[in-house]
Amino acid sequence: MESHGQSFTFVPEDTILAAPLGTEMVFNVTITNTSAQMLTLVLVRTLNDLPQGWESSMCFSACYLPTTDSIMTTPEYGSSPLNPNESRPFSLHVYTTLNNGAAAVRIDVRNTRDNLDLRTLTFHATSIPVGVKETPETPLVFALEQNFPNPFNPTTVIRYTIPEGMHERILLRVYDLLGCEVATLVNGEMTSGSHEMVFDASMLSSGIYFYRMSAGSFSQSRTLCIVR
């Protein structure tokens, strides 16, 4: 990490992550304005070295499409300047699909009033090859997977599994951040095994939502982000 100037910090939880192929790896970073003035920052993805089929995207105040390489803390990007001593979360999302490999993504953050006031982080994401082994034809537990792609516009795929011998009523619903239901995707008994469905969010506005699967005593939720 390079450092020039003193107006803000850019502190990561991790810069190296590894996970099985098909996983969304999320790097979380805290940005803090350590100056006594309002601060406008520009964040630029200056390196996006990914295996074929992988994607990366940024979230900061809002989530942006994988094709977006630069964002600013301005209303144009659904954000605003940072107040003195204010901290905000930034996240880099790496989506691993199709091919095993390693990715390197570099993010530069700059104070718009001072080009030398710069922070740089490089994030490394590696897929872990999974060995071939015997697996049961039907799953043993309920599971709700992270949707892919995420962020998305307007459709995404949601996968879930139902264990053998279960005859519970399955509910899969989408809610906004206030907890209001905005869509019902599944409501009824489903056969055991792995299932997937396409969620079309064309009728919803941009933003962060969460989806919840429940069946008997089982309940699991995950978040999704719609970007227009």
Please report, for the domain that includes residue 172, its CATH number.
2.60.40.1930
Rounded distance between C-alpha atoms, residue 77 and residue 163, angstroms: 43
For residue 209, give Cα distances in angstroms to 13, 143, 165, 174. Answer: 24, 19, 31, 7
Which one of 33-37, 59-63, 64-68, 189-193 scores highest in mean pLDDT? Answer: 33-37
Q: Are residues 189 and 82 in the same domain?
A: no
**Would residue 213 count as lying in a domain?**
yes
> In the β-sheet with 143-144, what is the strand arrangement from edge to edge?
143-144, 155-162, 193-200
CB distance 156 to 63 below 8 Å? no
What is residue 69's DSSP assignment? -
DSSP lists the bridge partners of residue 120 as 2, 108
Q: What is the pLDDT of residue 85?
A: 93
Mean pLDDT of the chain: 86
- Range 11-17 average pLDDT: 91
Residues 96-119: tens digit of each pLDDT: 877 888 999 999 999 999 989 999
**Would residue 135 count as lying in a domain?**
no
Closest CA to 170 of 139, 191, 153: 191
Point out the domain boundary residue: 103, 128, 153: 128
pTM assigned to the model: 0.62
| Burial (Cβ within 10 Å: 0-12, 13-18, ≥19) of residue 136 | exposed
Rounded distance between C-alpha atoms, residue 155 and residue 198, angstroms: 6
Q: 196 is in which domain, residue-wise? A: 143-226
User: Is the pLDDT score of 133 beyond 50?
Assistant: no
Which SS3 state, helix, strand or coil, does residue 55 take? strand
Q: Are residues 63 and 173 in the same domain?
A: no
DSSP string, 187-211: EEE--SEEEEEEEE-TTS-SEEEEE
Percent of the chain residues topping a pLDDT of 70: 93
